[in-house]
A and B are shown apart, each in its own frame.
Chain A
Amino acid sequence: MQEAMINKAKQLLADGTVSRVIGWKRGEFAYDITPAVFETAEELEREFVFDDFTSANVSKYLVKESQKEGKVLAFLKPCDTYSLNQLTKEHRVDRDNIYVVGIPGGPKLDIEKIKAKGITGITGVKNDNYTLRIETIYGEETMPFYEAVLDKCASCKSKKHVTYDELIGEDGDVLESNRFDMVEKLENMTSQERYDFWRGELSKCIRCNACRNVCPACTCENCVFDNPNSGIDNKAPADSFEENMFHIIRAFHVAGRCTDCGECSRVCPQHIPLHLLNRKFIKDINALYGEYQAGADTTSRAPLTNYTADDCEASVVHERGVE
């Protein structure tokens, strides 16, 4: 696949369709891959990589890249295309300035899950028929492929590309995913249990803002949390307000726009399952306003910004809140 992608990129650069390519660049080890922009065939040959660790969603970079001179080629996995569509819908990207080549999705691997097994000194990771053979300076280790899959891939919602200019490989379908299982589990907890769960998770937050900065739905020019005039700008919890509310406010802000790409949880250095907050909103929107998938298209009205006579009444909060 990597070879086919490099060839496609070289061809589109050579025939002038695009002037830049956004993809992934290989790192020092087997897994430390960085999103990067390539401008020449030589750079692509030397550094372009597509493998089990190229999980980063490059859609958000297109906000800036699509404003530049010349078309940019973006290799997008199915989940990434939902993000791009949503950005297109919000007029945050210039879709005409992007050439999308749809590529197969995951499941991608989570190096943290490999390291959590106590495996260290990792110099190589190979997928041998769904057994991972992990080369380390202490000898080879193995583990089942599926135990190292990223959470966001383990509950994949779709293998379908919702926007593309061309595809490499076959397109897939929207999947029946298990993505709301954990949300249901949380819903079935008592409010005290649920509170304890979220206090435990959110109190780990170090306010690095990685979740916000990676989020394709967070494209405000000046975030309220960075704006001294907002009254809630902050860098660390002055009291328990911050660590609780930062994530909850953010989840509210992206509600109805979050495509569930899972990047927030992937990048969290503290392993807070932030995507669960967003999924709760998605699940509720589905239940209260009818099935809706943000980013599935670029034209439909979003349920939270569109009034219909069938909208649920405000009393739903009270009705559902009763235990």
Chain B
Amino acid sequence: MLRISADKIYQLLEAASAAQTVYIPADREDGEAEFRKYETGMQLTNRLNTLRSAKDFFFPQTENLVEFRMDGKNIEINDIRRECEDFVIFGVRACDARSFTILDKVYLVDPVDSFYKSRRDHGTVVTMACSRPAETCFCQTFGIDPTAPEGDCSVWNDGSYYYFQPNTEKGQKFVDSVSSLLEDGDTAGLDKSVERTKEVMKKLPLANLSAENFGGDKLNEYFNSDKWAELSESCLGCGTCTFVCPTCQCYDIKDFNTGHGIKRYRCWDSCMYSDFTKMAHGNPRLTQLERFRQRFMHKLVYFPANNNGEFGCVGCGRCLSKCPISMNIVKVMKALEVK
């Protein structure tokens, strides 16, 4: 397999960033990690994953859709869309890589969302296999193998070498852009490292969490479960889970008067918010119970019902870490499961 000695990884990032913009997971001042545009001297984080998910690259928190110029009774529509430039996200974990295929099932089905598609077409996802999973990890529950991440190009690090395996044309293009630095080599060290990680995976506290009893066939049974009241009891109705989630894709569309015209933009929205379904004449989800239920029903029941059994969760564990009251999808699954 193509590989590069671990001490030369920054040479590789340097070369790749000469060809196109490269983002890497780097440390922030507060000890968390986030994707940052690679610049000389920047270090890869040691944290397992970034606080915010990699979905931001394809579905940013806020983006402008269209602009209007208002003049008396007249309106002029200004299509401000521009083709996005090529970029690479380096070091995406297997969970986040899978989240893109979930987002694709929403945004790339007819009618295609051209804003999302442009970024998807121009973004190259270079994934990084995990070797030190956290207690909050449960990607295995959704059939994700963190030692064999998907993406345009998969990368492994066994401590001595980084190994590269392109999976798509875009991935090949990325590898080609750094091919002068790569050499063919054996994978003995890598095989051992993967073996070790697989052993660790078995020991994770959530290793045995199964989603097999969820999905579309018990839709009403889960919807009508008497467990929702207790589960949602202390939910604050904030959007933390939604906004750190790599698969949450709901949005709001709003207008902003810039003083020179109207800017229509979309931004992340959360089904946990009280105004999410509020209309001029009423709201079908009046209490936090209904809103809380919607979020988990969507991921565990509605999404699989509409997408051949695929769940709307990738087990990244961000909501487990970040919920202010530590309520999360794992607790919901355990409490709710009907065998």
Contact = CB atoms under 8 A, between A and B. Distances in A.
Which of under 10, 10 to 19, 20 to 34, or 35 or more describes the interface residues of B? 35 or more
Interface string A123-162: 1000000000000111000000000000000000000000
B46 interface: yes
B233 A226 contact: no
A17 interface: no
A174 interface: no
B255 to A, nearest CB: 9
A236 to B, nearest CB: 3
The residue among A27, A35, A121, A226 with the most chain B CB atoms within 10 A of its own CB is: A121
A32 interface: yes
Interface in B232-272: 233-234, 236-240, 242-244, 252, 254, 256, 258, 263, 265, 267-270
Given A34-B327, A120-B134, A270 B51 contact: yes
Main secondary structure of the interface of A (DSSP, over half): loop
B64 to A, nearest CB: 9
B104 interface: no
A12 interface: no
A244 interface: no
Interface in B285-327: 320-322, 324-327
A293 B267 CA distance: 39
Contacts of A208: 238-240, 242-243, 270
A267 interface: yes
A131 to B, nearest CB: 20
Contacts of A118: 46-47
A58 to B, nearest CB: 9
A214 B267 contact: no
Contacts of A33: 326
Contacts of B270: 208, 235
A269 interface: yes
A7 interface: no
A161 B179 CA distance: 67
Given A28-B206, A213-B238, A226-B273, A236 B326 contact: no
B337 to A, nearest CB: 14
A239 interface: yes
Contacts of B206: 28
B252 A235 contact: yes
B240 A210 contact: yes
A53 to B, nearest CB: 9
B238 A214 contact: yes
B234 A235 contact: no
Contact of A28 (B243, B273, B325, B331): B331
B326 A122 contact: no
A50 B284 CA distance: 37
Given A116-B30, A121-B134, A235-B252, A36 B62 contact: no
Contacts of A56: 324-325
Interface of A: 27-29, 31-37, 56, 61, 112-113, 115-116, 118, 120-123, 136-138, 206-210, 212-214, 226, 228, 233-239, 266-267, 269-271
Interface of B: 30-32, 46-48, 51-52, 61-62, 132-136, 200, 203-206, 230, 233-234, 236-240, 242-244, 252, 254, 256, 258, 263, 265, 267-270, 273-275, 320-322, 324-328, 330-331
5 tightest CB-CB pairs across the interface, nearest first? A116-B31, A236-B267, A267-B324, A32-B326, A210-B238
